[in-house]
């Protein structure tokens, strides 16, 4: 019976520690490839490169070739939702995104649907 209790404690301890690690991961940090659908310019592909410095998300917006188009001017974090402010075509715009799963997100930019995929290292 002692072995069973020990195994049970270890089992729950393992899952508790894995759960805590998953919750502390910085979900939005990294490179995200987004498609903003049905804009006046067609479906627009952009890469958002986000990193956390001094507790705040910062970054840049790149085109499909990796050329930096603009800096992100502000990132607002609310629970799971993140709003990314930047300038595009001379306009200040905001991309609001929510997580779908570990590597996918969905969002909205000025009323246009957006979908994002986390870029894996080496891509």
Residue appearing with tokens 């498609």: 35
Span 91-123, pLDDT tens digits: 999 999 999 999 999 999 999 999 999 998 765
Measured over the CA atoms of residue 6, residue 11, residue 14 and residue 15, the dihedral's sign is: negative
Task: Specify the pLDDT at position 94.
Answer: 97
What average pLDDT does range 64-86 have in this prediction? 95
Task: Specify the pLDDT at position 13.
Answer: 55
Look at phi and psi of residue 59 and say left if phi exceeds 0, alpha if psi is from -120 to 50, else beta: left
Task: Specify the pLDDT at position 70.
Answer: 96
Task: Specify the pLDDT at position 19.
Answer: 42
Integer angstrom CA distances of residue 60 from 23, 92, 93: 25, 14, 14
Do the Cβ atoms of 119 and 30 come closer than 8 Å?
Answer: yes
Q: pTM here?
A: 0.76
What average pLDDT does range 9-37 have in this prediction? 68
Q: What is the mean pLDDT of the chain?
A: 85
Q: What angle do CA 59, 60, 63 make, to 5 degrees?
A: 150
DSSP string, 61-117: EE-TTS-EEEE--EEEEETTEEEEEEEETTEEEEEEEEEEETTEEEEEETTEEEEEE
Residue of higher predicted confidence among 64 and 75: 75
Least confident of 21-25, 27-31, 90-94, 104-108: 21-25
């Amino acid at each position: 019976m002692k072995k069973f209790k020990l195994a049970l404690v270890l089992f729950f301890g393992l899952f508790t520690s894995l759960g805590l690690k998953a919750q502390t991961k910085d979900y939005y940090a990294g490179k995200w490839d987004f498609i903003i659908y049905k804009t006046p310019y067609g479906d627009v592909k952009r890469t958002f490169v986000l990193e956390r410095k001094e507790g705040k998300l910062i970054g840049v917006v790149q085109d499909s070739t990796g050329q930096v188009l603009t800096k992100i001017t502000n990132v607002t974090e609310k629970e799971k939702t993140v709003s990314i402010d930047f300038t595009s075509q001379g306009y200040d715009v905001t991309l609001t995104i929510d997580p779908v799963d570990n590597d996918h997100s969905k969002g909205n930019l000025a009323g246009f649907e957006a979908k994002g995929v986390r870029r894996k290292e080496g891509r």
